[in-house]
Structure 1
Amino acid sequence: MKFSEVKGCENLTVMFAKFTKSEHAQDLLDGNLYMNNFKHFVKQEENSKHKGQGDSYEGAFVTTFDAVDIYVNDGYAGYAQSGKISMTYTDLDRSPLFSMSMLKSCDFKVIEDKGSSIVLKVDFSEQDIKEFKENFKSDTVVFTLNFKTLIERLNDAARKTETKRVTGPVEYVDFSIMDSKHKDRYKRFEEGYIDFLFHKHNSLKYQREFRLILPDIQVDRNYTFEVGSLEDIFYVVDIDEFFSGMKIELGLKKANSI
């Protein structure tokens, strides 16, 4: 059964995980968070011709338009088919971001109930596993169950360096649907809110992304955000072990027992 079927655990955050290459794992353990800017991911899709880790919509508010006639100086100039328009604010595409996957109770299945604790195993679909391996070219997963401490350390590092930081989970959106939610998102974009930096195309929802953004910093390529050692709260595991063999045990209140 899914962990989310346990009473009181329906929408519980369990883990933050970074899918990476083994040679980069130590940097994360040392608290050196390597951050590319939004523009990097736009160019990555342009170069690869594939939406995955690269995403041409990154850092932009995306809206659609219907087929229209185009006029110039009151004269008919042509015809434009329906399509998408991306809009952003000056320099925000140069702001750095750091991403992890936020795994919730629905991403785990129950292996054993011990009464005072419960043993879980990662339970992704085969398609989601394939997407992670192919799009992220990862062989290693660095993860923490102590994500509250991680957020506290991100906040502390931002305060010490007097850097504005914004964190939160990504909302996956069908940009082709022009409903009331789209109108609300557009209104907030016009009013100067940066919610749109946490909106991604719903084809990427397998990424389960949680992101850290430093909106007041602009970099041409990348940025390293130093938060101090994280070795005490992170674990490192091979990606195949993570998906197929790794088990975790969580303490539970008795009321949450199956």
Structure 2
Amino acid sequence: MAFNRALFKSDYFNFVKEENGKYIYEWNLSEEEKQMFKDFGDKAVILPEDFVQKVVKKAEGAGNAAFIKEVQYIDYDVVDEKRKRSFDNQEIDFFFWKDKNFKSQREVRIILPGQLVENHLKYYVPELDGGSNIVDTENLFNKLMISIEKKK
């Protein structure tokens, strides 16, 4: 089973100002990149910072191995001996490859390699209740600002 999410690093944001002990940032994405995310749907979920760690802990608590890694975007038109060996040996890296045409998705995957899922799999992580926000995709890029508290 795989769970995918987008990862936004610091270079996807521009510093705007310092205010009330916080740093304020806005998005640094091209219009094309914004449109790509809007094409996924009209809603986006902003997950808490520790989301991945909590889901992995829950999966491992249920007896499942869990791996997390950024997706590696590659050119599938180019034959790569290392990639072929990895595929032939059924190494876990195979699950973290995607065609370079999807690079703008900035994907991170959580893989539960021993879990065959036909329909869906649910893990209830009570620590996440109230820790995520659902926003309109349009507002996500046009109105939402990110604030980070200054370390004291």
**Taking structure 2 as the reference length, what is the TM-score of the superposition?**
0.86
Deviations, residues 178-222 of structure 1 (Å, cap 9, x unaligned): 3xxx22222222333120111101111111111112211112232
| 1:120 matched to 2:25 | yes
Which has a greater percent of strand? Answer: 1
RMSD across aligned C-alpha pairs, in angstroms?
Answer: 2.2
Q: Distance in 2 between matches of 1:140 and 1:98?
A: 18
Q: Secondary structure at the match of 2:64?
A: coil
Q: Is the 8 A contact 2:38 2:138 kept in 1?
A: no
Residue 135 of structure 2 is aligned to residue 234 of structure 1: no
Greater Cα radius of gyration, structure 1 or 2? 1
Distance in 1, matches of 2:120 and 2:105, equals 21
C-alpha contact 2:68 2:110 (8 A) present in aligned 1: yes
Gaps of 5+ in 2: none
- Counterparts of residues 88-107 of structure 1 (less than 5 Å): 96-107=1-12
CA distance in 2: counterparts of 1:209 and 1:176, whole angstroms: 21
Provide the identity percentage.
26
Aligned residues of 1:115 and 1:252 also touching (Cα < 8 A): no
Q: Please show how residues 56-135 of structure 1 align to structure 2 within 5 Å.
A: 96-114=1-19, 117-134=22-39
Q: Which of residues 117, 129, 143 in structure 2 aligns to 1:245?
A: 143
For 1:142, the aligned partner's letter is V
Give 1:176-255 correspondences, 5 Å limit. 176-178=77-79, 182-252=80-150
Distance (whole Å) between structure 2 residues aligned to residue 151 and residue 219 of structure 1: 19
Gaps of 5+ in 1: 1-95
- Structure 1 residues 128 and 221, CA gap change in structure 2 (3 angstroms): same
The count of aligned residue pairs is 152
Report the 3-state secondary structure (helix = DSSP H, G, I; strand = E; otherwise coil) of the residue aligned with 1:185. Answer: helix
Residues 53-80 of structure 1, C-alpha deviations (whole Å, 9 max, x = no match): xxxxxxxxxxxxxxxxxxxxxxxxxxxx
Secondary structure at the counterpart of residue 123 of structure 2:
strand
- With over 3 angstroms needed to count, the CA separation of the structure-2 counterparts of 1:252 and 1:186, relative to structure 1, is farther
Distance 1:150 1:191 in 2: 31
